[in-house]
A and B are shown apart, each in its own frame.
Chain A
Amino acid sequence: MAHIRKAEITSPITTLGGESTSRVVPALLVVAAACIGGAFAWQGLSNRALFLHSYLVSYMFFLTITLGCIFFVMIQHLTKAGWSVTVRRVAEVFGCGIFPMALLFLPILVLVLTGDSSLYPWVNTTPAASGAPEWAVGDERIFDIKATFLTPFWFGIRSVIYFTVWTFIAFRLYSWSVKQDETGDKNISLKSQSFCAPLMLAFVLCLAFAAFDMEMSLAPMWFSTMFPVYIFAGCVLSSLATILLTCLLLQKTGRITDEITIEHYHDLAKLCFAFIFFWGYIAFSQFMLIWYANIPEETFWYRFRFEGGWVVFSLVLLFGHLFIPFLGMMARTVRRNKTYLLFATIFLLAMHWVDHFWIVMPQWKASVYEGYFSHGEPITSSQYVVWPGFVDLLLFVGMGAVFLASFCVVSGNRSLVPLKDPRLHEALNYDNP
């Protein structure tokens, strides 16, 4: 039961601090350029396919977090949530990272538009002997249908739509929220709420088709209706972990110390727990249905991931993304322990990265795998297994630097908690029953 104790923001520091960020941002951008450029120089020229797949892994890692943060903000508005007001701003700021994410997508888009098939095999339309390209398993009819959807032109158009919609949502909500800091106009809360209702539909549609376009089409022959839900589950879980981690770190540096309490951490951790389970539920359902029906046109995707070294990643996900965090986040005491949460969120984010590695990397020799499917020739996938390496680290650090720089720029001198949200008092006085 809530007890009204506080009505105002009392932390000594509520902003990142403009002066320090003005030095940090260029440094981060230099790091980003050096890391991504270095990775490109290291591997991009010699093995472009492998490099691009690594690029996509880290890219999807940060993109899904950003999208999860946008979703978090929208769902708080839609449900008129009171408890989460003080942690919402962090998600709003991360959500605006969708703009730099769009910029980081440009290299991929340019490659697709210029007909480079080293990332997405479907870009290649050169017919093999049978009349369809090799990836389309020699059947022209299959190729005809796929070729109407998976074309560089339409891929480009769709990407522009996705990023426009996401960017529009993220910036609109953030700018309204910031405006409310000054005016305290409670109509802004109402406006955000009614804005989110139709835009949620657009957001989810874009998310679903982006999942198809960006990751499922790496294996153009494979399809699963569950795939967008799987990506969505990862989005929400990783964004919750990111919000938690960010709040912990901000408080460690003495910022917003009074507004976010253990009660908020507890609730975020509860949501994390729920989405660990939800991710497991979705991942299991997708796998189980494909495994059980045992139709080669679907099973091949999982088969690659269960052969050779790839099975290690599958097992890491099973235990690291589901069983261990599920048990680890179950107890109330651990969900209210900041040291533990610091460790747990980093662990969850690491698993989220492995998840995308597991989705993307086995496709790096796509043509070989598709050939495996069509001709039934046994190819040991252990020949093509890729372990996370230095290039992956560079790309992760590089994109992480962009992600953080975006946080600093967007946040700037503004408060890290909403100052005049009409439901602020609920969050400030919030207690778990």
Chain B
Amino acid sequence: MAITVDNLTNNTFEDPSRRAPLITGGLDNEGVTEVVADLAEAPSPPRIWWVLLAVSAALTTMLGGLILLLIFKGVGVWGNNNPVYWGWPIVNFVFWVGIGHAGTLISAILFLFRQHWRTSINRAAEAMTIFAVVCAGMFPGIHIGRVWVFYWLFPIPSEHLAMWPNFRSPLLWDVFAVSTYFTVSLLFWYMGMVPDLATFRDRSTSKIKKFMYGLFSLGWSGSARHWHRYEVAYTILAALATPLVLSVHTIVSFDFAVSIIPGWHTTIFPPYFVAGAIFSGFAMVVTLLVPMRALFNLKHVITVRHIENMNKIIMVTGMMVGLAYTIEFFIAWYSSNPFELFAFQNRAFGPFWWAYLAMFTCNVFVPQLFWFKKIRTSMIMSVIVGIGVNIGMWFERFVIVMTLNRGFLPSSWSYFRPTWVDIGMFVGSFGLFMFLFLLFCRFLPVIAISEVKGTLAFQKHMALAGGYSEDGDH
């Protein structure tokens, strides 16, 4: 029986009696597979891919060189100095960890909330999570001084080791939180990919590809038993990953909040950091997916509605962050603690006023543009706001860290300046991130094909029952 699946291109209409289709352009099961597999099967990727890969590879190389420089010369190559002992490295660490959160939210929480639209974006977002965590983990990893004994971070029982980590330090909790996060995200991502890897295996013509995809698809045959176990495992992993959305950035916020530094020690930090992380993560997903869907012909799978939904989440989390700023400022005043109040006034009107302004503008005001449907469904504006949000969220962490520049001892007040190595490493981390992401785009299924097909089946079903828009006429 031929059921015409929606072939309209604008699925952002509002009609409460019908759910808008999530896959457009008349794509059917085979069409979805074709569209996604095309990327990996094309004899050569688009030229822009090569250009971007070259640029990001160069930046990654630069990053590697700078890390070597750091190892040979020591952390003095950074701008970190009294009183700002934590400079850009921690800012970059928190920034990248935050970026990762959208992937986990999309793959775990939106799954539990049965948000079908997540299926088109979860794979890329999860990949982004993993690459972001790689970038994040790097910064504290190279900040520990003697990089070659990084394993001392872990509590390894040994008679020869004169070191034992301090369990009361949130920095150690970070080690556990981030490594758990990385492990679970990787598992979740990989497990979800198994059926799609099998699809690639079955379609590939070259022997090497067949072998590689075959190796990683773990002998998937698509039998009912496989599917059953797969779905059970997926639900369990989603439930396990859900607390991770909260825990990782909560622990990161503890790095600051357990201290007794004015401006850092405030109880709202855990949920406020989590909201900020989701905020920046979604901004990054939008920033990546909008060009991706255009370049790789994925417009009917990642539709305008998907982007619009993400933009709405950006707006909501942006306002949560804005509310947290307001409450923090209010309580700094209400507490009548002169040090606390000074810390906040110093942030807003002190030497780093420009950073505070950038943070507030980008995080609180810019996302307000999304109140207008025209803007939140415009691809170019989505990217602009997404980039703006990420600038703002980087500055948020910068503002928090720079609270240190004027501590309790006015004689040690100074103005923090990054060195060229700081800047180079931050730029280089983007290179690493992009490099990994581009490889992912070329060699792995960027869309969760099997999950999208599930959505497609649901969509057809609802169209039959009159719940979904069938013809796009509204």
Contact = CB atoms under 8 A, between A and B. Distances in A.
B331 A297 contact: no
A189 interface: yes
Given A204-B323, A205-B323, A186 B260 contact: no
Interface stretch (A96-104, A248-256, A406-414, A418-426): A418-426
A289 interface: yes
Contacts of B466: 4
A285 B335 contact: no
A158 interface: no
Interface residues of B, number: 42
B15 interface: yes
A190 B18 CA distance: 12
A289 B16 contact: no
A139 B270 CA distance: 31
Contact of A145 (B269, B271, B327, B333): B333
Given A208-B323, A285-B271, A295-B260, A225 B16 contact: no
A1 interface: yes
A2 B461 contact: yes
Nearest to A81: B113
Given A2-B467, A423-B17, A289 B336 contact: no
B334 to A, nearest CB: 6
B389 interface: no
Contact of B265 (A186, A282, A293): A293
Given A145-B333, A190-B16, A201 B271 contact: no
A311 interface: no
Interface string A258-287: 000000000000100000010001100110
B249 to A, nearest CB: 11
A433 interface: yes
Given A223-B335, A282-B271, A289 B327 contact: no
A265 to B, nearest CB: 16
B274 to A, nearest CB: 10
A29 interface: no
Contacts of B327: 208, 225, 228
Contacts of A277: 243
Nearest to A424: B17
Nearest to B319: A201
Contacts of B154: none
Contacts of B3: none
B331 A223 contact: yes
Main SS at interface, chain A? helix
Main SS at interface, chain B? helix
B267 A226 contact: yes
Interface string B323-341: 1100110010111111000
B15 A186 contact: yes
Given A1-B461, A277-B243, A289 B17 contact: no
Which residue among B266, B324, B331, B334 has the maximum number of chain A CB atoms within 10 Å of its CB? B334
Contacts of B254: 289
B268 A226 contact: yes
A292 interface: yes
B16 A423 contact: yes
B114 interface: yes
Contacts of A295: 260, 265
B268 A225 contact: yes
Interface string B251-283: 000100111100001111111000000000000
Contact of B17 (A186, A228, A281): A186
Given A2-B461, A208-B323, A229 B268 contact: yes
B237 interface: no
Contacts of A422: 15-17
Contacts of A223: 331, 334-335
Contacts of A212: 334
A142 B339 CA distance: 12
Contact of A225 (B19, B267, B458): B267
A101 to B, nearest CB: 23
A295 B243 CA distance: 29
Which residue among A1, A139, A294 has the maximum number of chain B CB atoms within 10 Å of its CB? A1
Contact of B267 (A146, A186, A286, A423): A286
Contacts of B335: 223, 297
A289 B458 contact: no
Interface string A384-419: 000000000000000000000000000000000000
Interface string A71-114: 00000000010100000000000000000000000000000000
A145 B340 CA distance: 13
Contacts of A4: 465-467
A425 B16 contact: no
Contacts of B317: none
Contacts of A141: 336, 338
B467 A225 contact: no
B433 to A, nearest CB: 29
A34 interface: no
B212 to A, nearest CB: 33
Contact of B258 (A197, A201, A292): A292
A433 B238 CA distance: 14
A289 B333 contact: no
A130 interface: no
A225 B319 contact: no
B269 A289 contact: yes
Interface string B391-407: 00000000000000000
Given A285-B267, A289-B258, A297 B246 contact: no
Closest 6 CB pairs of A and B: A225-B268, A226-B267, A422-B17, A189-B16, A422-B16, A142-B336
12 contacts: A2-B467, A4-B467, A141-B336, A186-B15, A226-B267, A227-B267, A289-B254, A290-B267, A297-B335, A421-B16, A422-B15, A423-B16
Interface of A: 1-2, 4, 80, 82, 139, 141-142, 145-146, 149, 186, 189-190, 197, 201, 204-205, 208, 212, 223-229, 270, 277, 281-282, 285-286, 288-290, 292-295, 297, 421-423, 425-426, 433
Given A228-B327, A295-B260, A421-B16, 18 more contacts: A2-B461, A2-B467, A4-B465, A4-B467, A80-B16, A82-B19, A139-B336, A142-B336, A146-B336, A190-B16, A208-B323, A225-B266, A225-B324, A225-B327, A281-B270, A282-B271, A289-B266, A422-B16
